[in-house]
Amino acid sequence: MTEITEVTEITRLRRKAVEIRMTLLKLIHRAQTGHTGGSLSNTDILTALYYHTMKHDPQNPKWVERDRFIASKGHSVESLWAVLADLGYFPKEELETYSEFGTRLIGHPNNKVPGIEMNTGALGHGLPISVGMALAAKRDGLNYRVFCLMGDGEQAEGSVWEGAMAGAHYKLDNLVAIIDRNGLQISGSTEDVMGSEPLDRKWEAFGWDVVEIDGHDFGALIHAFDSAPQVPGKPTLVLANTIKGKGVSFAENKVEWHHHVLNDQQLEQALAELQASLKSLGAPEQEGSVHS
């Protein structure tokens, strides 16, 4: 990618991420429920994956060679619903049913929805299952990669570390785990609730290649995702340092926004801030439906 092309691509991704944030905030406000802070912190990660790195096709969601994405931190699903609707996995109008009785769009990923590989939300389950998917690709001679997004509070789950051991043991260099490291969980700072540092050295000790980045820097995100694996025979752990509530000034780095709903005035202010960010990024670019 030339320098000019990369700058254009980063601008396109930044614009898309702002649009996704606006959609998810409206989604949560309409439903009067949702995990606002974590959805805002992981939006840039999802945007880099779905609009740049991953091989996938909304018109053929079961394409055998597709890359797999597992949202292990399933409670922050609102950003994922916004992305999948925007890409055409299901009609955008269906977003209006989020959390209503009988809807497919519930508060965690639901594999009745095209584009969702598995039901998630019971923390600690996503990585072990991602290990199985990556191992299946190796044994079937397929070239897809598996991306698994975890929360930083989720690192207290023992099954995460069982999955980490297995991923390294089977030399799954087609596996990329991502930690949304925003430093906060429902009851406070992750380091106060259950200290996990030094995360980088722990994952390295379990046999993973660790890449630490700014989780809101699209240049760093696409480089980390596109270049994995940098070490053949090792799975990759992307430690993405993020800000809970990113993009909404009054929600950033506030633990109370883990699960919080905007009132009418807050929604208006948040959308105004995001609209100003969108305006500063210029006109949108055209994009196709198949990403690779």
285, pLDDT greater than 60: no
289, pLDDT greater than 70: no
What pLDDT score was predicted for residue 121? 85
CB-based burial label for 253 (10 Å; 0-12, 13-18, 19+) = middle
What pLDDT score was predicted for residue 3? 63
Quick one: average pLDDT of 143-148? 98
- In order of 64, 220, 257, the CA distances from 67 in angstroms are 9, 20, 31
260, pLDDT greater than 90: no
What pLDDT score was predicted for residue 286? 45
- DSSP secondary-structure letter at 123? T
Domain map of the chain by residue range? Answer: 3-280
What percentage of the chain exceeds 70 in pLDDT?
95
CA atoms in the 13 A half-sphere facing the CB of 135:
14
Quick one: average pLDDT of 222-235? 97
Q: Residue 132 — very low, low, confident or very high, per pLDDT cuts 50/70/90?
A: very high
- Distance CA(85)–CA(120), nearest Å, equals 19
Q: Which stretches of 110-264 are assigned E, i.e. beta strand?
A: 146-151, 175-181, 184-185, 188-189, 209-214, 236-241
Q: CA torsion, points 261, 263, 266, 270, in degrees to nearest 10?
A: 50
Quick one: average pLDDT of 171-191? 89
CA angle 90, 93, 98 (to 5 degrees): 85
Mean per-residue pLDDT over the chain, rounded: 93
What pLDDT score was predicted for residue 290? 44
- Distance CA(258)–CA(185), nearest Å, equals 7
161, pLDDT greater than 80: yes
DSSP H or E stretch at residue 71: strand 68-71
288, pLDDT greater than 50: no
pLDDT tens track for 56-104: 999 999 999 999 999 999 999 999 999 999 999 999 999 999 999 999 9
CATH 3.40.640.10 for domain 3-280: no
What pLDDT score was predicted for residue 133? 98
Q: Quote the distance between the C-alpha of residue 95 and its chain's center.
A: 18
- Distance CA(212)–CA(221), nearest Å, equals 10
> Which residue from 214, 211, 244 is spatially nearest to 226, judged by alpha carbons?
211
What pLDDT score was predicted for residue 191? 85
258, pLDDT greater than 90: no
Q: Residue 130 — very low, low, confident or very high, per pLDDT cuts 50/70/90?
A: very high
- DSSP secondary-structure letter at 125? -
pLDDT tens track for 1-53: 666 577 899 999 999 999 999 999 999 999 999 999 999 999 999 999 999 99
What pLDDT score was predicted for residue 264? 96
What pLDDT score was predicted for residue 292? 46
